[in-house]
Structure 1
Amino acid sequence: MKNKLAILLVLVMLTLTGCSGKNNVDTAAGEPAESVTKLTMWSMETRNREIIEKSINEFNTAHPDIQITAEYFEDEALKTKMKVAIAGNQVPDIITYWSGETFDTLVATSMLGDITEQLSSDADFKNNVLPGGLETFTYDSKTYAIPVLFSGVSLWYNKEIFADNGLTPPATYDELLAVVDQLNAKNITPITIAGKDRWPVLHWFSYLAQRVGGTEPFEKAKSGEADFTQDSFVKAGELLRELAIDKKGFVNGFLGLDYAAAESLFVNGKAAMYLQGEWAMDSFLDDNFADKVGFVPFPSVAGGSGSVNIYHGGFGAGMAISSKTNQEAAYTAIRFLTDSAQRKEINEGANISPMKNPGLDEANMKPLAYEYDKSISENLEGFFGYYDQVLDAKRADQFLNSVGSIVGQESADVKEELAKVK
């Protein structure tokens, strides 16, 4: 009986050793090896998986005491998985996730680690982040993530169409309207837009509101200090209606076009302009089309206070660590993975680096991608978020409906439509 108990005790001890959070592997000489901290990472960057895996392998080789294993999920799948993780208080060691409401919840429920001190001790890296990058993930003066990308919406135009018709890319809204008139006179579709999806129309409204009144009116309306019938919003609605209805600036039937159909018109040379984010470059970089594409910031509005170097978009995703994991090891990992050198190949494609000095190699890039990334790095003064993502779900949907009415119904009263957002 004593022998059986002894054997059972040994088996229990072996089992407990194998289930511990660290791996303690005996060496050939019988001495315990250094313990290994294992980190699990969740990421929605499925498109960049191969590049990220190379970085992880490099990190794991250089840090035998810290080993990262990554899992990748499509957007909706990760959102669902995060809801379950939050409910069970089981957030992974490292997560690449979007800024916004869910990230706010993770911070509010103390599920994420505070990396303020580590960043403060790494001044060169911290100061290399574009304006607003770390601030996006900062709450009560504490920072919880490092941005991995910047998203910015620009006005893309077909250089060939513009050159053939003696047109200059618009720097002001009045110039844009004049270009629309000239294109319509020649039966060329001025602007393609996915009205069926609604949010591309909201991009136009949001930019106009910012160019008219800056970002303060939106912040006041968002907090409830004011509403969306402020003068800058009403003016933006009137300007947008002038473009869409009076000037017929958007492609005929745009309210029935989805994203793919609207984008295909631009890519196939059937429309002269397209307002969209940098993600659209994926479809622009084909060898037969890339050289025809140019871009300008959204035009200024006469008498307005918003700078053209304030972009609609922002730092849409950041890399964070769980508050429950090994803080030193996890920070070491995300600092490595977010470094410009590790994300260089990603940012040389259809992405914008969140760093002032991204270390891009022009020889590896399509000229369009290089020029766009360079333009953002050199000119970005700040950003304002997507209305439908920054607002709560109820007001976001109301805004999408109201803007749709403004561009779709000639008889719609702009102020009355905006008053519905509450």
Structure 2
Amino acid sequence: MKLHTRGAAALAALSMGLTACGGDGGSGDGKQFTYWSMYKQDEVRAKIVQDAATAFSKETGIKVNVVFQGRENLKKLQPTLVGGNVGADLVDGAAFNVLNLLQVTGNAADLSDVYAAKITGEDKTVAEVMPDTYERLVTDGGAKYLVPVAVHSWQIFYDARKHPRLAQQPPQTFDELLAVLDELKQQGRKPLALDGDIPGYVTKWAATLLIRELGPGGLTKVLQDRSGAGFDDPGVLRAAAYMEKLGKGGYWADGWDASKFPAIQQKWAQGKSDLLFMGTWAPSETGEIAGKEFEYRSFPFPKTAAGHDSQETTLFGFAIPKKARNAESAKKFIEFFLNKKWMDRIPAEDKVLSVRVDTSTPKELADTKRTLDSATSAHFALDGVQKMGDWETKIFNPMSKEIMAGRLSAADFVAQLKAKTVEWWKANA
């Protein structure tokens, strides 16, 4: 599954030996519940869900009415939250979507009791099998609105067969990364692969540098100051100075800002570039072109002098609407699904990292797994500022590309970003 893929999925209902119920959350008698999933029935994860639900029903006698709604499941749920007949007792999705569509609107149930509960068939609780950083990330006002099962992150990928020194000693600071880039450049290489026609890929460099300088939550704080004074934080200019070095350093692969995705990442997979800052789906997207000899390794985005090393974390998991009539049955299913038997199947079959620290790991993502399991701090993509409407698409994305292309100085980038953000707030007050 390519979790970064956008676009509405068609409604696909599938009953797992049961009757799919698409209209309400069940009878409220505790003998069944309705689960609206973000997956489509032909996806690997849907097969895992199907098998788990069938086994759960057999073991508990509780019917699971599953509807594979596709990526629009949470949006389709919204109209049913108004009345007293909520569409589903259990949903799944990305944490930031659940936060924005359920939690902040007061429609998400607090799942703190699930975290404290024993996993079905095990002696450990749900909280005990995953890093504390995940639990903290999905806690809002003391309430836990999501129980994650899978995680994506961003790392800098490379072929260890061609870069054994990176495998032995990956750069720890951004200055060390720049030194690596300069060395590769001296060898006649264009070391950084980037598909510039994907705005979010370009922005990822700029946003991560800002988060490295400001710390998790810092970028959000800067942007929420409608006066623009937040941009006067020295960390903003320091981050922009690194962006300027990238833009004027001659590091990007030829054609990066004029190519059509996935041309540049394919060049990287063919060994024509060296480093790819990408989500954990990179190996699955490039594996066929890279070939069996390609040795996928990765390292986290390096720290700047500010010392922040928070890891971008995109969590996917379960949530329960506050008005769900069969919430207790849905909670039992979550506790059942967190069993290692089911969680092991996520990395083994879907090639996606499980949130459990003790599950198997695709070898291509072993470095990422170690990074996430040992992280002391985590943040959402773009520090969680996606809720600022079109600020990202209209302002941040194009400006990030300008400075990454070497067409803006650090000072001009900060000044223009400040001015445009102030104007954006005036228009969106």
TM-score scaled by structure 2?
0.79
Identify which of 251, 254, 262 aligns with 2:253.
251
Distance in structure 2 (CA, Å) of the matches to 1:160 and 1:265: 16
The corresponding residue for 2:34 is: 40
Report if the CA contact (8 A) 1:41-1:70 is conserved.
Answer: yes
Deviates more, 1:86-95 or 1:289-298: 86-95
The corresponding residue for 2:54 is: 57
Identify which of 230, 233, 240 aligns with 2:233.
230
The corresponding residue for 2:218 is: 217
Distance in structure 1 (CA, Å) of the matches to 2:74 and 2:151: 20
Alignment of 1:200 onto 2:201: yes
Report if the CA contact (8 A) 1:111-1:324 is conserved.
Answer: no
Report if the CA contact (8 A) 1:41-1:71 is conserved.
Answer: yes
Identify which of 96, 116, 140 aligns with 1:120.
116
Alignment of 1:383 onto 2:386: no
Describe the shift of the 1:95–1:178 C-alpha distance in structure 2 as closer, same or farther (beyond 3 A). Answer: same
Deviation at 1:72, TM superposition (A): 2.2
Deviation at 1:192, TM superposition (A): 0.7
SS at match of 1:124: coil
Distance in structure 1 (CA, Å) of the matches to 2:221 and 2:183: 38
Deviation at 1:273, TM superposition (A): 0.4
Deviation at 1:61, TM superposition (A): 0.9
Greater helix share, 1 or 2? 1
SS at match of 1:160: coil
Alignment of 1:274 onto 2:276: yes
Alignment of 1:93 onto 2:86: no
Deviates more, 1:273-282 or 1:85-94: 85-94
Deviation at 1:389, TM superposition (A): 5.0
The corresponding residue for 1:406 is: 403
Distance in structure 2 (CA, Å) of the matches to 1:404 and 1:389: 20
The superposition leaves residues 294-339 of structure 1 with CA deviations (integer Å, 9 ceiling, x where unpaired) of 11111222x32213xx212x24322012332222211101221233
Amino acid of the residue matched to residue 377 of structure 2? G
Describe the shift of the 1:248–1:100 C-alpha distance in structure 2 as closer, same or farther (beyond 3 A). Answer: same
Deviation at 1:90, TM superposition (A): 3.2
Distance in structure 1 (CA, Å) of the matches to 2:408 and 2:143: 49
Deviation at 1:224, TM superposition (A): 2.5
Distance in structure 1 (CA, Å) of the matches to 2:307 and 2:320: 39
SS at match of 2:274: strand
Report if the CA contact (8 A) 2:311-2:378 is conserved.
Answer: yes
Deviation at 1:135, TM superposition (A): 2.8
Distance in structure 1 (CA, Å) of the matches to 2:179 and 2:188: 14
RMSD (CA atoms): 3.1
Report if the CA contact (8 A) 1:320-1:334 is conserved.
Answer: no
Gaps of 5+ in 1: 1-18, 24-34
**Larger-Rg structure:** 1
The corresponding residue for 2:315 is: 316
Gaps of 5+ in 2: 1-23, 119-123, 423-429
Alignment of 1:104 onto 2:100: yes
The superposition leaves residues 381-419 of structure 1 with CA deviations (integer Å, 9 ceiling, x where unpaired) of 121221185341233222212212222352451222321
Deviation at 1:285, TM superposition (A): 4.8
Describe the shift of the 1:173–1:111 C-alpha distance in structure 2 as closer, same or farther (beyond 3 A). Answer: closer
The corresponding residue for 2:190 is: 189
Distance in structure 1 (CA, Å) of the matches to 2:192 and 2:300: 15
Identity %: 18
Distance in structure 2 (CA, Å) of the matches to 1:231 and 1:389: 21
Report if the CA contact (8 A) 2:25-2:89 is conserved.
Answer: no
The corresponding residue for 2:10 is: none
Deviates more, 1:231-240 or 1:80-89: 80-89
Report if the CA contact (8 A) 2:402-2:408 is conserved.
Answer: no
SS at match of 2:153: strand
The superposition leaves residues 120-171 of structure 1 with CA deviations (integer Å, 9 ceiling, x where unpaired) of 3447322322223223332321222201222211111122332499996433
Deviation at 1:243, TM superposition (A): 1.3
Describe the shift of the 1:53–1:131 C-alpha distance in structure 2 as closer, same or farther (beyond 3 A). Answer: same
SS at match of 2:257: helix
SS at match of 1:155: strand
The corresponding residue for 2:138 is: 137
SS at match of 2:345: helix
Describe the shift of the 1:102–1:52 C-alpha distance in structure 2 as closer, same or farther (beyond 3 A). Answer: closer
Distance in structure 1 (CA, Å) of the matches to 2:128 and 2:223: 29
